[in-house]
């Protein structure tokens, strides 16, 4: 900017020297085009939309979206842990060798030899846990604040895609160390992919129609977990799934902006507010428009002669908030990684399974259901839950309550009731099966179709659905029924996860505490 005012030197050699002298300034100007921290709203908006990485945000952000109690920062925590995962993952790739004979040793090298290798691996492991937990909680937040409603249905679906990507990433990462834990978890996982055979075998049609075998072969490239499986999981884990996740994440962020920012109730101040001593209509941007450019010229924008709007400049308010959440995530991950090592068992041994062989915690709820029927617990119930989630915004179309926790009237009691109903059902079911077993214990020769149809998992889903339908009839509100079902599934998932983590020991037997496990 100041270059224009400097007189041009007479000869080319002088001009060259002049430019050389000014090099630090001109290069700095090219990088920091504004030259100083933004001082006016005009400069703040420029700082936002002249930057590729910032311009995905709108220039102004609603105050409600900044309230920590509204979002709990969960989306940013998920994204932040993904960033940490990408960075540490690439660092781990420097030493990791995807081969059944070398993988385990390369992880040992990372752990014992490579400078900071152990810490990087721990961070990678812990941020994966944080990401999965944050993604689940983020989904619950979006659901309970009714933020999936029109026009945000599409973004809810994108989010469900991201949930699948997140779980698939953590599942594929599980095999890579090629230790006992990895080998047996993937043996079990790939056999869950194979489990439609439970149904096709029972019907006697596997010879002609075998989706289970197809899925397993596609995943493993063989009939057993070996070199082909390892390289497939590696390619999925380090390229295909991250690339797909980043793409979906881009769409997810972009849709937030195109859908008019985070969900919020309409007319938070009843449409009027005091402004300059008199009551004025509040300026409410349309839900689908962001009015980024309107902030360019202070005082001459769409809010002229209107009351105050509830928005603040994204620079610095939003960016500081996001940075703060990012740093909290980093610190949390660092503390966990510093104190708790990522597990590494013995080298994979196909002859001796881990006992108990437990999946990572977020799959343990499913593992508990799988211990009644692999097909129902491992594929059918997750599929039903996912499809149910995907249908929510299309079945519940009544507007109202968006962007508020338990927004529609009477929602909170329904959630609380469902909490207890869901809890009672799942605890009762577990207590029953632990004490009395299930069909196969009573009738060892029973046909497998009976077990597929009637097992603790399917009964639990049925009970939850009946409860939800009853709420639908009672309160005459689809949203309430959705809240009931969602809460029940959430409670069921949590209790099953807890139960399988704490109360299942060797041979998948019930123990009150892990300290009671027999030593062998």
Binding other proteins (rule: CB under 8 A), the pick from 126, 171, 184, 489 is 184
Binding other proteins (rule: CB under 8 A), the pick from 350, 400, 413, 514 is 350
Helix (H) or strand (E) holding 64: helix 63-66
If binding is defined by CB under 8 A, does position 101 make contact with other proteins? no
Q: Which is nearer to other proteins, 215 or 418 (CB)?
A: 215
Binding other proteins (rule: CB under 8 A), the pick from 164, 168, 202, 454 is 202
Contact in structure between 179 and 347 (CB atoms under 8 Å):
yes
Segment near other proteins (CB under 8 A), from 76-84, 183-191, 303-311, 463-471?
183-191
Judge if the upstream peptide bond of residue 151 is cis by omega within 30 degrees of 0. Answer: yes
- Name residues contacting other proteins, limited to 446-475 (CB under 8 A): 448, 451
Q: What share of the chain is helix, strand, coil (3-state, %, to 5)?
A: 65, 5, 30
Segment near other proteins (CB under 8 A), from 85-93, 180-188, 303-311, 472-480?
180-188
Q: Is 324 helix (H, G, I), strand (E, B) or coil?
A: helix
CA–CA–CA angle 443, 449, 450 (5° rounding) = 45
Q: With CB under 8 A, what is the number of residues at the site for other proteins?
A: 45
Least Cβ distance, residue 203 to other proteins (angstroms): 12
- Name residues contacting other proteins, limited to 222-261 (CB under 8 A): 222-224, 226-228, 232
Closest of 446, 377, 449 to residue 205, by C-alpha: 449
Q: Which is nearer to other proteins, 109 or 201 (CB)?
A: 201
Contact in structure between 366 and 167 (CB atoms under 8 Å):
no
Least Cβ distance, residue 93 to other proteins (angstroms): 22
If binding is defined by CB under 8 A, does position 374 make contact with other proteins? yes
Is the dihedral angle over the CA atoms 194, 195, 198, 199 positive or is it negative? negative
Segment near other proteins (CB under 8 A), from 193-201, 272-280, 290-298, 324-332?
193-201
If binding is defined by CB under 8 A, does position 100 make contact with other proteins? no
Cα 226 to chain centroid, rounded: 29
Q: N- to C-terminal Cα distance for the chain?
A: 76
Helix (H) or strand (E) holding 275: strand 272-275
Binding other proteins (rule: CB under 8 A), the pick from 119, 253, 406, 508 is 508
Q: Which is nearer to other proteins, 166 or 195 (CB)?
A: 195
The rounded radius of gyration (Å) of the Cα atoms in the chain is: 28
128 by Cβ neighbours in 10 Å (0-12 / 13-18 / 19+) ranks as: buried
If binding is defined by CB under 8 A, does position 517 make contact with other proteins? no
Q: Which is nearer to other proteins, 136 or 174 (CB)?
A: 174
On the CB side of 230, CA atoms within 13 Å amount to 19
Q: Which is nearer to other proteins, 376 or 414 (CB)?
A: 376
330 by Cβ neighbours in 10 Å (0-12 / 13-18 / 19+) ranks as: middle
Instruction: List residues binding other proteins (CB under 8 A).
Output: 184, 187-188, 190-192, 195, 198, 201-202, 214, 217-218, 221-224, 226-228, 232, 350-357, 367, 370-374, 437, 440-441, 444, 448, 451, 506-509
């Amino acid at each position: 900017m100041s270059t224009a005012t400097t007189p041009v030197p007479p000869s080319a050699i002088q001009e060259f020297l002049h430019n050389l002298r000014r090099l630090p300034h001109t290069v700095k100007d090219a990088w920091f085009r504004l030259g100083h921290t933004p001082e006016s709203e005009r400069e703040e908006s420029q700082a936002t939309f002249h930057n590729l990485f910032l311009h995905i945000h709108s220039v102004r952000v609603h105050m409600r979206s900044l309230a920590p109690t509204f979002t709990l920062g969960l989306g940013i925590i998920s994204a932040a842990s993904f960033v940490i995962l990408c960075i540490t993952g690439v660092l781990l790739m420097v030493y990791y060798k995807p081969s059944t004979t070398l993988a385990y040793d390369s992880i040992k090298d990372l752990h014992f030899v490579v400078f900071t290798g152990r810490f990087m691996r721990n961070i990678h492991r812990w941020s994966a846990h944080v990401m999965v937990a944050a993604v689940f909680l983020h989904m619950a937040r979006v659901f309970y604040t009714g933020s999936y409603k029109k026009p945000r249905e599409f973004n809810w679906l994108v989010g469900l895609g991201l949930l699948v990507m997140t779980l698939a990433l953590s599942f594929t990462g599980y095999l890579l160390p090629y230790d006992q834990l990895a080998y047996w978890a993937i043996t079990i996982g790939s056999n869950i992919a194979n489990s439609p055979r439970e149904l096709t075998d029972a019907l006697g049609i596997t010879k002609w129609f075998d989706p289970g075998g197809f899925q397993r072969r596609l995943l493993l490239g063989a009939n057993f977990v070996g070199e082909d499986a390892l390289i497939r999981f590696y390619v999925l884990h380090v390229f295909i799934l991250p690339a797909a996740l980043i793409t979906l994440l881009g769409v997810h962020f972009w849709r937030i902006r195109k859908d008019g920012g985070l969900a919020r109730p309409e007319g938070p101040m009843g449409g009027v507010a005091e402004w300059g001593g008199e009551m004025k209509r509040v300026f409410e941007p349309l839900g689908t428009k962001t009015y980024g450019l309107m902030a360019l010229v202070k005082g001459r924008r769409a809010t002229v002669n209107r009351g105050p709007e509830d928005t603040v400049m994204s620079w610095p308010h939003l960016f500081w908030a996001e940075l703060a959440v990012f740093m909290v995530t980093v610190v949390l991950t660092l503390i966990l990684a510093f104190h708790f090592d990522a597990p590494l068992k013995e080298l994979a041994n196909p002859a001796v399974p881990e006992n108990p062989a437990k999946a990572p915690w977020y799959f343990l709820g499913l593992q508990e259901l799988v211990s009644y029927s692999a097909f129902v617990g491992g594929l059918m119930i997750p599929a039903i839950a996912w499809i149910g989630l995907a249908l929510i915004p299309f079945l519940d179309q009544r507007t109202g309550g968006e962007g508020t926790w338990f927004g529609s009237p009477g929602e909170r009691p329904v959630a609380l009731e469902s909490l207890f109903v869901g809890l009672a059902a799942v605890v009762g079911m577990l207590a029953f099966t632990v004490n009395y077993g299930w069909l196969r214990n009573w009738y060892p020769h029973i046909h497998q179709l009976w077990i597929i149809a009637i097992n603790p998992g399917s009964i639990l889903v049925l009970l939850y659905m009946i409860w939800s339908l009853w709420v639908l009839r009672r309160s005459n509100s689809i949203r309430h029924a959705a809240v009931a079902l969602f809460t029940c599934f959430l409670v069921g998932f949590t209790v099953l996860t807890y139960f399988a983590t704490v109360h299942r020991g060797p041979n998948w037997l019930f123990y009150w505490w892990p300290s009671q496990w027999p030593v062998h």
